[in-house]
Amino acid sequence: MKRIRFSWKNICLPISCINNTNQKTTCTTNPSKERLLLLSKQTSVRSRVYLSDFSNSTISLNDLSNSYLIDIHIFTFEELKTITQGFSKYNYLGEGGFGEVYKGFVDNSVKTGLKAQPVAVKALKREGGQGHREWLAEVVILGQLKHPNLVNLIGYCCEDDHRLLVYEYMERGNLEDHLFQKYGGALPWLTRVNILLGAAKGLDFLHKEEKPVIYRDFKPSNILLSSDYSSKLSDFGLATDGSEADDADFTKSVMGTEGYAAPEYISAGHLTTMSDVFSFGVVLLEMLTARKTVKKYRSQRERNLVEWARPMLKDPNKLEQIIDPSLEGRYSLEGIRKAAVLAYQCLSHNAKSRPTMATVVKTLERILDLKDIQNGPFVYIVPVAGANKVHDIKCN
């Protein structure tokens, strides 16, 4: 079999990355482009352009950015090299499926209208598992949708073979690093609830779009945290709008991260907003237990977190066995029980039995209002008669 050399130029995607906004096109009969032009004239009601509009069309990013992208800047590759100091190892923040991420700094001298701020620059790697479609999804979705719990896309670079994205910089990294860290203190109970509440609001916003946006990759590493632990969803490369999710051909390819995908999506390719709800339930369970959803080094019985822990979520007598021991009892008992019930509902194998994200948000808000936080194990030291020692008696 002949091997095909990978190049983004070989990808059959109907999009041009020409930075010259004055270039004219001779295609006037394309339905998607005509729709885009028609929508751009409807200034009274703002409509969103969908990823499906780019299928079999000649719509370019310039067509989109001129009318629809909100405060998005187009960077040259040289500009991004400058702000990251040549993608210096000292500015290296990490790497995911998309590519490497570097810290940089922008201001008005880089682009007119840019406020001085640190940024995160993500570069798509050509040999990676994700490609141009994932990069495009981030630009199309985050370029049009703005919400306090979605990471802010500042701009992009689409030059030759270079595909880069520029985001706001989130000081505390991602939830995964804090939840599963083996050093430092544990995340306090209310901080955990507040982080997931912010993420839930982000998903609820996406699901309430005219054509719901299905996030499809909800997991702790995609929840970014600011300095005050406010949370924002990031990495929209696998996200899709409802029109694509309804396409039988599209859902044949199951994408996401092991352990977080809904059972109906894995078995039959059925992708709906309820798939995101299941993924949220997995992360909520991880928050309760501080255990990763899949860990091959655990015993066979406990290897899959959902299968092992879900039956215990509805049993108050067994719930204590799975709660993160590093919390040391410093949580609301009622809050823990309500969160466990919510996780149990989100993880239902019947998609129709799961709550909507709007219901999830309301439930988490009520849990956050519960202030009956325990102080952990009560320790009382009493002298023992006839002995010079004292004994610690711990009463849970």
Helix (H, G, I), strand (E, B) or coil at 185: coil
* CATH number listed for the domain at residues 8-28+48-168: 3.30.200.20
Across-strand partners of 94? 101
Distance of CA 89 to the CA centre of its chain: 25
Strand-pair partners of 224: 174, 232
Long-range CB pairs of 32-39 (<8 Å, 24+ gap) are: 32/56, 32/57, 32/59, 33/57, 33/58, 33/59, 33/63, 36/63, 36/64, 36/67, 39/67
The pLDDT value given to residue 287: 96
pLDDT in tens, 303-349: 789 999 999 998 988 998 899 999 999 999 999 999 999 999 999 99
Q: What is the pLDDT of residue 224?
A: 97
Distance, CA of 5 to CA of 226 (rounded, Å): 40
Q: What is the pLDDT of residues 40-92, one digit of tens each?
A: 555 444 578 888 777 655 566 666 666 678 889 999 999 999 999 999 999 99
Q: Which residue has the tokens 């779009």?
A: 209
CATH dotted code for 175-368? 1.10.510.10
pLDDT tens digits, 209-246: 989 999 999 999 999 999 999 999 999 999 998 766 56
Kindly give the residue spans of alpha helices, DSSP state H, lying in 88-188: 132-142, 175-179
Sign of the Cα torsion 140, 15, 221, 272 reads positive
List, for residues 167-182, the tens digit of each pLDDT value: 999 999 999 999 988 6
Q: Give the model's pLDDT for residue 48.
A: 80
d(CA 259, CA 65): 36
Q: Where are the domains of the chain?
A: 8-28+48-168, 175-368
What is residue 295's DSSP assignment? -
Instruction: Single out the catalytic residue among 53, 217, 235, 324.
Output: 217
Q: What is the pTM for the complete model shown?
A: 0.82
Q: Is 122 annotated as a binding residue?
A: yes
* Contact by Cβ (8 Å): 240, 320: no
Q: Is 71 a catalytic residue?
A: no
